[in-house]
Amino acid sequence: MDASHVEQDLVNVLFTEKQIQDRLGELASEIERDYAGHDLLIVGILRGAVMVMADLARSLSRHVEMDWMAISSYGSGTKSSGVVRILKDLDTDITGRHVLIVDEIIDTGLTLSWLTSNLTSREPASVEICTLLRKPEALQMPVEVKYVGWDIPNEFVVGYGLDYRERYRNLRDIGTLSPHVYS
Question: What pLDDT digit, counting tens, does each position of 71-102 carry?
Answer: 987 555 555 556 788 999 999 999 999 999 99
Predicted pLDDT of residue 127: 98
SS3 assignment, position 118? helix
Predicted pLDDT of residue 122: 98
**Is residue 107 flagged as an active site residue?**
yes
Q: Does any domain span residue 45?
A: yes
Q: Give the residue among 123, 120, 127 at the shortest CA–CA distance from 99.
A: 127
Predicted pLDDT of residue 78: 52
Q: Give the residue among 48, 47, 68, 44 at the shortest CA–CA distance from 56.
A: 44
| Catalytic-role residue among 9, 55, 103, 107 | 107
Q: Does any domain span residue 90?
A: yes
Q: Does any domain span residue 183?
A: no
Backbone angles phi and psi of 27, in degrees to 5: -65, -40
Predicted pLDDT of residue 80: 56
Q: Name the pairing type of β-strands 157-158 and 174-177.
A: antiparallel
Q: Does any domain span residue 140?
A: yes
Determine the Cα–Cα distance for residues 130 and 138; give it in Å rounded to an integer: 18
What is the total count of domains within the chain?
Answer: 1
Residue 55 burial (CB count, 10 A): 19
pTM (2 d.p.): 0.92
Residues in the chain with pLDDT < 50?
none
Q: Does any domain span residue 27?
A: yes
SS3 assignment, position 176? strand
Q: Give the residue among 12, 27, 4 at the shortest CA–CA distance from 158.
A: 12
Predicted pLDDT of residue 82: 62
**Which residue range is the domain that position 48 belongs to?**
17-154
Q: Does any domain span residue 175?
A: no
Q: Give the residue among 57, 69, 72, 70 at the shortest CA–CA distance from 24.
A: 57
Q: Which amino acid is at 97?
A: R
Q: Does any domain span residue 169?
A: no
Cis peptide before 47 (omega within 30 of 0): yes
- Residue 35 neighbours by CB under 8 Å, 6+ apart: 98, 100
Predicted pLDDT of residue 72: 82
72: domain CATH number is 3.40.50.2020
Q: Does any domain span residue 4?
A: no
How many CA within 13 A on the CB side of residue 92?
18
